[in-house]
Amino acid sequence: RLLDEAEQYLRDGHSDEAFQALRGAVRSRAVSLAVHELYQRLLRQHHRNDELREHTRQYINRLLQEKQERRALALQREALD
């Protein structure tokens, strides 16, 4: 499973591999909210601001589709800070 694979990469100290696996999946198919959350965290930690803005829009849309309005609003507030 993608999330397990990415988390294993992170535990092993291979954040670039985790990032690449998540990026490819997020851009090419529907992924779980947990995958979006981890990808968002990695983007923020690695200061990939352009990609973070792009993903934030995508993630907010997915949260709204899943009726997670409060999480979407919190994410929007973070993006504005």
- In CATH terms, the fold of domain 2-80 is 1.25.40
pTM: 0.89
Shortest CA distance to 31 belongs to which of 72, 69, 3? 3
Amino acid occupying residue 42: L
Distances in whole angstroms, Cα of residue 52 to Cα of each of 30, 44, 76: 18, 7, 12
Domain layout of the chain by residue ranges: 2-80
Name residues whose C-beta falls within 8 Å of residue 3's C-beta, 6 or more positions apart in sequence. Answer: 32, 34, 35, 38
CB 77 within 8 Å of CB 56: no
Q: Using 50, 70 and 90 to split pLDDT, how confident is the model at 81? A: confident
Report pLDDT for 76: 95
